[in-house]
């Protein structure tokens, strides 16, 4: 049995996840800044406007988890909070309509806005975005004959998020560009209507955090997984090798020219542990995960790019630490 390297790891056994016997979790470890600075690394694997994958290496799970939690619940974003319903004759109920509108992601950089004071009754240009949605469904005058498709028969029979119009407050029109404000996606179906139905709504978006309501969360999800590690304990060849290969995600196990299996890239493994189903090969691998190697995946909802969201989370953590320290110092 080959000796495993010194990385901290959890063992994925057949029926449970097991820490090494002497490992009581890294929470007990004495924290040393120098050591931390030396080990800590961030590797960005993939980044676009909506999604980011990066590795956070050499930190304790509490750190990684804190960032994950902050991204989910404390990084602010803008969302529709109030809906003034002037007219709603569609079949969708006022409350349900308001709820649906609230969940539409808005592209508005929350860093440019302030939280609206709790006692404020009207918003200002610094803390509020206002929109209007005014749609009326009617019969299509130039409807083609013999067609029964609603899109031919009626006009505006579906209300989409693209129909939401921004109403700049005060100086907003000059501060923000038209393209930077509004729903992220234009094709979100809000309601379906029939002739005679009408929506006349005034929407008020404010800045908020995910703790308050999930609609304020800037991420669709932010989570991490630990880096998988696969070690072969013996030589696996021939049929067993292909069987072994099939037990893991594609690209994890390779087979060399002599038919021997080798670990190609453990990172891609989904840790399905299906190798334990086969008695003949279950002894040939040790499955484990590196405890201080977090593969983060951040999916932004669209208001901010994911890397900014992460940085925001870091800033929030810093501010929290600072305020704690300040409090402690005043004692």
Partner 1 sequence: MGELNKNTEWESTKGLREPIKELEDKWKLVPSFLQVKGLVKQHIDSFNYFINVEIKKIVQANEKVFCDADPLFYIKYLNAYVGTPDLEEGFNVTKPTTPHECRLRDMTYSAPITVDIEYIRGNQRVIKNKQLIGRMPLMLRSSNCVLTNKSDFELAQLNECPHDPGGYFIIRGQEKVILIQEQLSRNRMIVDEFKGAIQCQVTSSTHEKKTRTNVIVKNGKYVLRHNALTDDIPIAIAFKAMGICSDQEIMQLIGTDDTTMKKMGPCIMECHNLKIFTQNQALAYFASKLKVKRFQTANSKSRSPIDEARDLLATTILAHVAVENYNFYVKAIYLAIMVRRVIDAESNRTAIDDPDYYGNKRLELAGSLLALMFEDLFKRFNWELKSIADKIIPKVKAAPFDVVKHMRPDLIANGLFAAISSGNWTIKRFKMERHGVTQVLSRLSYISALGMMTRVNSQFEKTRKVSGPRSLQPSQWGMLCPSDTPEGEGCGLVKNLALMTHITTECSEEPIARLACNAGVEDVRLLGGEEINHPAVYMVFLNGNILGVSRQYKRLIRVFRMFRRRGLISAFVSIYPNHNQRTVYICSDGGRLCRPYIVVENGHPLVQQSHIHELKRGIRKFQDFLNDGLIEYLDVNEENDSHIATRESDIDPYVTTHLEIEPFTVLGVCAGLVPYPHHNQSPRNTYQCAMGKQAMGTIGYNQKNRIDTLMYNLVYPQCPMVKTRTIELTNFDKLPAGQNATVAVMSYSGYDIEDALILNRASIDRGYGRCLVYKSAKTTMKRYSNQTSDRILGPSRDANTGKVIRAHDILDTDGIAAPGEMVENRQVLINKQMPPATLNPVAQGQPQSVDYKDVPITYKGPVESYIEKVMVSSNSEDAFLIKILLRQTRIPEIGDKFSSRHGQKGVTGLIVQQEDMPFNDRGICPDMIMNPHGFPSRMTVGKTIELLAGKAGLMEGKFHYGTAFGGSKVKDVCNELEKHGYNYHGKDIFYSGLTGEPLEAYIYSGPVYYQKLKHMVQDKMHARARGPRAVLTRQPTEGRSRDGGLRLGEMERDCLIGYGASMLLMERLMLASDAFSADICGECGRLASRAWCHACRSSAAVSTVEMPYACKLLFQELASMNIVPKLTLKRYC
The nearer residue to partner 1, 17 or 175, going by C-beta atoms, is 17
CA-closest candidate to residue 296, choices 67, 12, 58: 67
17 or 112: whose CB is closer to partner 1? 17
Give the nearest distance from C-beta 170 to partner 1 in angstroms.
31
| Pattern 25-64, partner 1, x by CB under 8 A | x-x---------------------------------xx-x
Closer to partner 1 by Cβ: residue 192 or 260: 192
The C-alpha atoms of residue 101 and residue 17 are separated, in whole angstroms, by 42
What's the sign of the alpha-carbon dihedral 49, 51, 53, 54? positive
Contact region with partner 1 (CB under 8 A), list: 104-112, 191-199, 264-272, 322-330: 264-272
**318 interacts with partner 1 by CB under 8 A:** no
**Closest distance to partner 1 from the beta carbon of 271 (Å):** 6
Distances (CA, A) of 13 to 17, 24, 85, 115, 151: 6, 18, 57, 48, 57
CB distance 80 to 102 below 8 Å: yes
Residue of 40, 55, 65, 314 that binds partner 1 (CB under 8 A): 65
Contact status: 223 vs partner 1 (CB under 8 A): yes
The DSSP H or E segment spanning 225 is strand 219-232
| Measured distance CA(296)–CA(70) in Å, rounded | 13
Residue 309 in the binding site for partner 1 (CB under 8 A): no
Which range binds partner 1 by CB under 8 A, 117-125, 170-178, 200-208, 266-274? Answer: 266-274
- Restricting to residues 83-112, name those near partner 1 by CB under 8 A: 85, 88, 91, 93-96, 99, 103
Q: Cα–Cα distance between 141 and 47 in angstroms, integer? A: 48
Specify the DSSP element, H or E, that contains 42: strand 41-47
DSSP 92-157: S-HHHHHHHHHTS-B---GGG--PPPTT-SS--TTTEEEEEEEEE-EE-TTPPTT---HHHHEES-
Q: Which is nearer to partner 1, 60 or 128 (CB)?
A: 60
12 near partner 1, rule: CB under 8 A: yes
Nearer to partner 1, 204 or 252 (CB): 252
Does 69 sit near partner 1 (CB under 8 A)? yes
Give every CB contact of residue 153 below 8 A, 6+ residues apart in sequence. Answer: 139, 140, 143, 147
* Under 8 Å between Cβ of 225 and 189: no
Among 32, 49, 272, 323, binds partner 1 (CB under 8 A): 272
Nearer to partner 1, 204 or 222 (CB): 222
Among 77, 128, 172, 217, binds partner 1 (CB under 8 A): 217
CB of 258 to partner 1, least distance (A): 28
The answer to whether the CB of 131 falls within 8 A of the CB of 164 is yes
Nearer to partner 1, 116 or 215 (CB): 215
Residues found near partner 1 in the complex (CB under 8 A): 10, 12, 15-18, 25, 27, 61-62, 64-66, 68-69, 72-73, 85, 88, 91, 93-96, 99, 103, 210-211, 213-215, 217, 221-226, 249, 270-274, 277, 289, 291, 297, 299
């Amino acid at each position: 049995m080959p000796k495993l390297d010194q990385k901290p790891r959890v063992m994925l056994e057949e029926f449970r996840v097991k820490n090494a016997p002497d490992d009581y979790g890294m929470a007990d470890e004495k924290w040393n800044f120098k050591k931390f600075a030396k080990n800590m690394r961030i590797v960005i694997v993939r980044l676009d406007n909506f999604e980011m994958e990066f590795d956070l290496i050499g930190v304790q799970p509490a750190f990684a988890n804190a960032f994950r939690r902050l991204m989910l619940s404390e990084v602010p974003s803008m969302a529709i909070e109030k809906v003034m319903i002037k007219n709603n004759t569609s079949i969708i109920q006022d409350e349900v309509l308001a709820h649906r509108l609230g969940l539409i992601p808005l592209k508005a950089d929350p860093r440019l806005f302030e939280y609206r004071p709790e006692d404020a009754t009207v918003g200002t240009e610094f803390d509020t975005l206002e929109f209007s949605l005014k749609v009326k469904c009617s019969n299509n005058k130039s409807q083609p004959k013999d067609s029964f498709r609603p899109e031919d028969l009626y006009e505006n029979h579906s209300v989409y998020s693209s129909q939401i119009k921004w109403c700049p407050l005060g100086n907003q029109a000059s501060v923000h560009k038209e393209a930077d404000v509004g729903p992220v996606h234009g094709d979100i179906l809000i309601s379906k209507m029939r002739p005679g139905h009408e929506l006349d709504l005034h929407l008020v978006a404010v800045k908020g955090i995910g703790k308050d309501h999930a609609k304020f969360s800037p991420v669709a999800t932010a989570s991490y997984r630990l880096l998988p590690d696969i070690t072969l304990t013996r030589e696996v060849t021939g049929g067993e090798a292909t069987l072994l290969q099939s037990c893991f995600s594609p690209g994890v196990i390779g087979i060399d020219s002599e038919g021997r299996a080798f670990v190609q890239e453990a990172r891609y493994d989904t840790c399905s542990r299906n190798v334990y189903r086969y008695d003949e090969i279950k002894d040939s691998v040790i499955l484990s995960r590196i405890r201080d190697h977090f593969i983060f995946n951040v999916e932004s909802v669209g208001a901010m790019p994911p890397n900014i969201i992460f940085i925001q989370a870091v800033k929030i953590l810093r501010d929290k630490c600072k305020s704690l320290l300040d409090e402690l110092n005043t004692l």
